Amino acid sequence: MKKAILHYANVVQNLYIYIDFHAHASKKGCFMFGNFLSHDPTEAHPQSDQVENVLLPRLMSLNCANFDINECNFSERIMNAKDKSGQSREGSGRVAINKDAKIKLVHCYTLESNYHNGRRVNHLAPRLNKASGALEPDGIVTDVTSKVYMPPGSVPGQGPTPPPFTVEILEDVGHALCASILDLIEENPSSRIPLSQYKNIHVSDNKDHLIVMKTFASYRTSEMTWNLTSLNMRTAPCSLQLSDSKILQIDWLSLQCRERPL
């Protein structure tokens, strides 16, 4: 399989994206691991390859109620980490393909899913049919006000509860991934992006979004924990944990990023 993929990358030179699918026993939720790429602007990606790299999981969080961007990791350390058996991540599909491909592959990921449930639920913008201009209805899995997320006995005003993962929820993750890829190449006929707070995927047109993306891409820390649950609340601060003793606070009111001790 690796040889066939590298054939498309190195001979045909027509490989745009690589995604490996894994189950995860300990870490909750659906999330992505990605590679640590260059932070320098390029002709293809003026905001840097790393910002472009992070864009797909950000789109996933706008298309999938159960995708958790807080658990995503694109650090240099995760590329070099070893598992319990001592095997290096360099043997993982996304790292190996990125390393062995002769063309630049920005979009190489591992999509992970816990066996049971997640920690957070995303509120999704409506899907807009671009041809007709009509809104398309959500199903029970994408409607966070449905009984899937508000089971009997839920406390009013508490918000959606992360549900146990079912076949339908995992299928929706797959549907959302396909929709996110179409959004990434701007070919999605039924997209949530136009009615989201961002309106389009061009981060240079969305100043607050760009601050988060650039901040995430520019910090060369060994580990980063995303805490972006307030991202849809423009007046609320959000933060990135940089280390055990340091946190980066992003204030939407002043659009400033400040390092603060924990």
Closest CA to 125 of 55, 199, 187: 199
Res 169 pLDDT > 90: yes
103-107, 139-143, 234-238: least confident range: 234-238
Half-sphere exposure of 37 (CA within 13 A, CB side): 27
Query: Rounded to an integer, what distance in angstroms lies between the CA atom of residue 53 and that of residue 49?
Result: 6
Token pair in block for residue 191: 């997209």
Contact indicator for 136, 129 with CB cutoff of 8 Å: yes
Give the mean pLDDT of the chain: 77
So what's the pLDDT on residue 81?
65
More confident residue, 40 or 245: 40
Contact indicator for 72, 63 with CB cutoff of 8 Å: no
Residue of 43, 52, 90, 112 marked catalytic: 112
Write the DSSP string, 209-249.
Answer: HHHHHHHHHH---S--EEE-TTTT-TTS-EEEE-SSSEEEE
Q: Is residue 112 among the annotated active site residues?
A: yes
1-5, 153-157, 204-208, 229-233: least confident range: 229-233
Please report, for the chain, the start and end positions of each structural domain, with discontinuous segments joined by +.
1-206, 207-261
Q: What is the mean pLDDT of residues 53-67?
A: 92
Res 219 pLDDT > 80: no
More confident residue, 143 or 45: 143
